[in-house]
Structure 1
Amino acid sequence: MPATQRPRPAPAVELLPKIILGVDPGTQIMGYALIEVRGQRVDVLCYDVINMKALGSNHAVKLKRIFDRMLELIDEYLPDELAIEAPFFGVNVQSMLKLGRAQGVAIAAALSRQIPYVEYAPTKVKQSVTGSGSATKEQVAHMLRQTLTLPPIAEASKFLDATDALAVALCHHYMKGNNTTVSGGKSWGKFLAENPERLGASTGTGKKKAPAKS
């Protein structure tokens, strides 16, 4: 009589890979970064910016650019969660309104793919990465270089906006998503796994869509 085989244990939840999309909102340049987390290991998939300086003064055009690029990133990397920085309450009212719209559009793109989001205050992001809530952009970037193996980025002038977004994603990892109320349901990646035919419908093709240049 053959020996009874014991069922193999399921992998620990904390060791399952998770992809986090970090966003630093902006109306001229918006930083974004994607990291893959497995346990305590963090791999940087990409970090870059959406550069909207050439789009002129039409704010609606910029918002559409943000929405479209966010969907491209989501369909390319299938993130499980969005971590986004809250607007900084230190600029004039008009700038705050525009920045809030940019943040809202990025969140709306994630929610349209059923991706939950968490919002972090700028001081929380800086503190989680550097230990100081008053750290400069340069100090944040320096600490990330010390902590992570960063892939090359094309232009040094946009490096700090991209590393700010990377800091938001890393902050979310450190906080384990326990900062504030999250919205949304299951991740876009899990949704596509259950409904593979929807990938072609979302991008207009059944193949993975290459990201457009920022």
Structure 2
Amino acid sequence: MERILGIDPGSRITGYGVVDVQGSRLSFVACGTIRTNQKYPFAYRLNEIFEGINEVIQLHDPVVAAVEDVFLASNPRSALKLGHARGAAVVAAMQNGLVVHDYSPRKVKQAVAGYGQAEKGQVQHMVGVILGLKGRPSADAADALAVAICHSNQFQF
């Protein structure tokens, strides 16, 4: 059995999702969000992301991390902040000894919804169906679970 940590980085909200993979069977372990405090300077918020991912790793003990890659935003400043947030999450995973795999947003959406342009609601719904969830995870947590699912599709454990 392999445990995968999926991460959907964001400077305000970073989603995480943890799944177990055994053969072709996926099992939900946990998901949630790391919400940064907008009242603090950006560097402090990056540290919140780093510490939050560290806590998730310590609690759930994944063996690998999968992170959504930065998409091209229309606002360069937003893209830069997203890149910083992604970097904080990747460094947290690496500091905990995890190998990190990167996936484009298009590839993640294709993995769960079969369509690279799927909307957030479609991703949320399909993640729930694939993992047999009773409720619908938040959009950011669902995106992180989708990243973990995408990784499980790429590697047969």
TM-score (norm 1): 0.69
Query: Is 2:121 the partner of 1:142?
Result: no
For 1:146 and 1:73, locate their aligned partners in 2 and report how far apart those are by CA, in whole Å.
24
- Runs of 4+ aligned structure 1 residues displaced above 3 Å come to none
Identify the residue that residue 149 of structure 2 maps to in structure 1. 170
Which runs of 5 or more residues in structure 1 are unaligned?
1-16, 178-214
User: Are positions 1:128 and 2:78 aligned together?
Assistant: no
Could you say what the CA RMSD is over the residues aligned between the two structures, in angstroms?
Answer: 1.6
Deviations for 1:81-124, whole angstroms, at most 9, x for unmatched residues?
00000111023111111110100110101111111000000000
Query: 1:44/1:121 Cα in 2 relative to 1: closer, same or farther (>3 Å)?
Result: same
**Contact 2:15–2:33 (8 Å) recurs in 1:** yes
> 1:55–1:61: 8 Å Cα contact kept in structure 2?
no
Distance in 2, Cα, partners of 1:23 & 1:147: 18
Give the structure 1 partner of residue 31 of structure 2.
Answer: 47
| SS of equivalent residue, structure 1 residue 62 | helix
Residue aligned with 1:44, SS = strand
TM-score by length of 2: 0.93
Give structure 2 stretches of 5+ with no counterpart.
none
Q: Distance in 1 between matches of 2:35 and 2:107?
A: 25
- Tell whether the 8 Å contact from 2:15 to 2:32 is kept in structure 1 after alignment: yes
- 2:134 & 2:146 partners in 1: Cα distance? 15
- Does the alignment pair 1:21 with 2:9? no
1:157-177 alpha-carbon deviations (Å, 9 max, x no partner): xx1111011000000000118
Identity across aligned pairs (percent)?
A: 39
Cα deviation for residue 152 of structure 1 reads 4.9
Q: CA deviation at 1:36?
A: 0.8
Which letter maps to 2:154?
Answer: M
What SS class does the counterpart of residue 50 from structure 1 fall into?
Answer: strand
Query: Deviations 1:60-81 (Å, cap 9, x if unpaired)?
Result: 1110101111111111111110
Name the structure, 1 or 2, with higher relative contact order (CA <8 Å, separation 6+). 2
Are the aligned partners of 1:28 and 1:51 in contact in 2 as well (CA < 8 Å)?
A: yes
Q: In the TM superposition, what whole-angstrom CA distance separates every residue of 1:137-186 from its partner, at most 9, and x where no partner exists?
A: 10111112222122657xx7xx1111011000000000118xxxxxxxxx
SS in 1 for 2:71: coil
Match of 2:91 in 1: 108
One-letter code aligned to 1:129: V
Equivalents in 2 of 1:135, 1:171: separation in Å? 14
What SS is found at the alignment partner of 1:141?
helix
Q: Which amino acid in structure 2 is aligned with residue 171 of structure 1?
A: C
Question: How many residues are matched?
Answer: 156
> Which structure would you say has the larger Rg?
1
